[in-house]
Structure 1
């Protein structure tokens, strides 16, 4: 259950960062593309410049969830003995590999940033 939370909250953090204008779409797209690599859905490949960023992000989010879930499942299988014996060191996501692990554990530099909206609101008070 912790792995599912880490996966979901990591992706939600990205979307929140966009909503709050703490991240640019290009930053989020690059992070998700780095995770899914060449495994882009055909629907994403068919999108053009006129398609909304929200649609593009939704497609990438779905593929990212698939990759992260599969990575967590592989980690579970690899660590099954220690996990079931109650001897697993750390969280399951710490045993994920490659881009999936980096995606869940990446630093979130935007957490300290303020959006122009937030700054403007504070100035108006």
Structure 2
């Protein structure tokens, strides 16, 4: 079985790199990255990842807008999305967006892959 493929989307280079490294090294997954909502939307269409970690606050197209566009696009798969944010997202908005879960920033790199696995129900 091929490794899980996760798309990490964040406008902060260091957060993107730390998440990529930990998910590859600790989780053993294939990881792609995007630095904006527009880039993420395009990569989801091209790569068809198993899941996406999506930053809430980004310039241009923010996380919620990116997710809304993905859900409205018939060519975009129904990829499970975990939002990463330093702010709380109300439960009602989480349901409206169809989020799989939420990870608080700053996250612990050593437990990130475990958090993602737990949220998505992936066995270790």
Class of the TM-score when normalised by the shorter of the 2 chains: under 0.3
Instruction: Please state which structure has a larger fraction of its residues in strand.
Output: 2
Instruction: Please state which structure has a larger fraction of its residues in helix.
Output: 1
TM-score (norm 1): 0.24
Bigger relative contact order (CA 8 A; separation at least 6):
1
Structure 1 or 2, whichever has the larger Rg, is: 1
TM-score (norm 2): 0.24
